[in-house]
Amino acid sequence: MTTTDNTGTTAASAPTAPQLTRFPAGFLWGSATAAYQIEGAVREDGRTPSIWDTFSHTPGKVANGDTGDVAVDHYHRWRDDVRLMADLGLTSYRFSVAWPRVQPTGRGPAVQRGLDFYRGLVDELLAHGIKPMVTLYHWDLPQELESAGGWPERDTAYRFAEYAALVGEALGDRVESWVTLNEPWCSAFLGYGSGVHAPGRTDPTAALRAAHHLNLGHGLATSALRSILPARAGIGISLNPSVVRALTDAPADLDAKRRIDALANRVFTGPILRGAYPEDLIADTARVTDWSFVQDGDTASIHHPLDFLGLNYYTPAVVSGPRGEQDGPRLDGHGASDHSPWPGSDDVVFHHAPGELTAMNWPVDPTGLTDLLLDYTAQAPGVPLYVTENGAAYEDVVDEQGQVHDPDRIRYLHAHLGAIHEAIRQGADVRGYFLWSLLDNFEWAYGYGKRFGAVYVDYATQARIPKSSAAWYAQVARAGGLPAAE
């Protein structure tokens, strides 16, 4: 085909560029990790055990007896990993600080060698044009604090605020985005309720106490950071809200939805966004606790304005009322245990949503992400949102050419990024997306058996092999938009 320009010259026409679904200017294209899952070096430079060190070394707690002792050796390979991020076109990276690397006993002054690691990482990120987002707590409580009672004890919230101040003082001149807690629901209800996460306790009262003291820790840490950080810094929290759907419109199923929404979501959003715990949550859990651990002034300390809100999403929850004895494992997606992570609502039945399953046995349903973002746009008007985790585990293998092709993950990411764009189209102020995860790594109680990374890791050699999805995501990040689905 030829065209004639206004000078009369005939030339071949340029091929039509692929149609892109554009994201807003300045949208952050990121990836996320957690310290215990990637760093290794658990006994170096003054670091002492966290609850995950203790838990993973307890026989029977983690698949195959795996531990995070070495993980993917990021503590020694971080420069190479930052170059990988740059190759992927990332504009932001969310990582967590290991509390016991910075403050080994959970009390007292910081260990400068620990802070130096994060100073170097931040400087390297900035040198590559990658904006750091620091998460202060991604589940690695110093073991000494757990031995003193852990998150069910009020003192832990105060210790967390002191630790937050230490990190804020060290990195506040270079880091503008701060996340206090990652998924406090998991810390409280999987760590102290069902026991499938560290520290592995199975006490429903302790789980609710932990939830409150995590909320209080968020509030106290926010106050501490605001007194230290420059005015330009933003402080938020990353929640993992459940998109709860009733199996039917039957009254019992709708009530099950309400009860799980209270325990999964409103136990945090009540005090954080509205300054009070929901009355129905307190009534639902009355046989577990009287909530006397909530002291005067606590909810005011928790209820600080947020500069942004991080939301982590993987799959919706479909629930119904009691169906008699449950036949088989609880399908809530949170691991197998004889103990429920749902205090006061352990008779609620969970069902798989329709659709294909990932290697985690989680249904793929991107509509839940659109619903989530629109819901929180309504709940927290004026608060910018980030998708601080989203991704999928699949059975990734290295082929004869030394490559890893993961078309299922590409389809998953395309669908979920499309779901974010739809939420933006409907008015959600979503500022960025953080793919979970940058690297294959230690997947908590699943050990090294589940691979979420955009980059494949050979755990025997620590070689990094970017998967097909990494190349696809790099194209999306550089283009600032989604290509048409294949």
Going by pLDDT thresholds of 50, 70 and 90, the confidence category of residue 248 is very high
Tokens of 298: 């606590």
* 219-243 confidence digits (pLDDT tens): 999 999 999 999 999 999 999 999 9
Average pLDDT over residues 111-130: 98
Residue 4 has pLDDT above 60, yes or no: no
Q: What is the pLDDT of residue 18?
A: 58
Which band of pLDDT confidence, cut at 50, 70 and 90, is reported for residue 10?
very low
Residue 7 has pLDDT above 80, yes or no: no
φ, ψ for residue 179, nearest 5 deg? -110, 125
Strand partners, 386: 310, 432
Q: End-to-end alpha-carbon separation of the chain, Å?
A: 26
Query: Which residues, including other chains, have CB under 8 Å from residue 233's CB and lie 6 or more apart?
Result: 172, 175, 176, 177, 178, 225, 307
pLDDT in tens, 148-164: 999 999 999 999 999 99
Token pair, residue 433, equals 């997306």
Q: Is 183 exposed, middle or buried (0-12, 13-18, 19+ CB in 10 A)?
A: buried
Q: Calculate the average pLDDT of the chain.
A: 95
Neighbouring CB atoms inside 10 A of 463's CB total: 11
pLDDT tens, residue by residue, 45-71: 999 999 999 999 999 999 999 999 999
Q: Are 265 and 242 in contact (CB under 8 A)?
A: yes
Residues serving a catalytic function are: 183, 389
Sign of CA pseudo-dihedral 326, 327, 332, 336: positive
Quote the pLDDT of residue 325.
63
- In this prediction, residue 327 has a pLDDT band, given cuts at 50, 70 and 90, of low
Task: Let me know if 13 is exposed, middle or buried by CB neighbors in 10 A (0-12, 13-18, 19+).
Answer: exposed
Query: Which residue has 């605020």 as its token pair?
Result: 161
* Least confident range of 55-64, 90-99, 186-195, 322-331: 322-331
Q: What pLDDT does residue 326 have?
A: 61
For residue 300, pLDDT over 60 is answered with yes
What lies within 8 Å, CB to CB, of 220 at 6+ separation is 157, 158, 160, 161, 301
What SS3 class is residue 191?
helix
pLDDT number for residue 485: 83
Could you give the 3-state DSSP secondary structure of residue 419? helix
pLDDT of residue 156: 99
Instruction: Name the DSSP letter for residue 12.
Output: E
pLDDT above 60: residue 11: no
Q: Is the pLDDT of residue 6 over 60?
A: no
| Mean pLDDT, rounded, for 74-84 | 98
**How much of the chain exceeds pLDDT 90, in percent?**
93
The 10s digit of each residue's pLDDT in 396-435 is 999 999 999 999 999 999 999 999 999 999 999 999 999 9
Q: How many CB atoms lie within 10 A of CB 133?
A: 28
Judged by DSSP in three states, 432 sits in strand
Q: What are the pLDDT digits (tens) for 331-360?
A: 999 999 999 999 999 999 999 988 899 999
In the predicted model, is pLDDT for residue 98 greater than 60? yes
Q: What length is written for the chain?
A: 486
Query: Residues 305-314: pLDDT tens digits?
Result: 999 999 999 9
| pLDDT tens, position by position, 167-190 | 999 999 999 999 999 999 999 999
Strands (DSSP E) found in 91-233 = 92-96, 131-137, 177-182
Residue partners of 389: CB distance under 8 A and separation at least 6: 32, 238, 240, 310, 312, 313, 314, 434, 436
Residues 441-465: pLDDT tens digits? 999 999 999 999 999 999 999 999 9
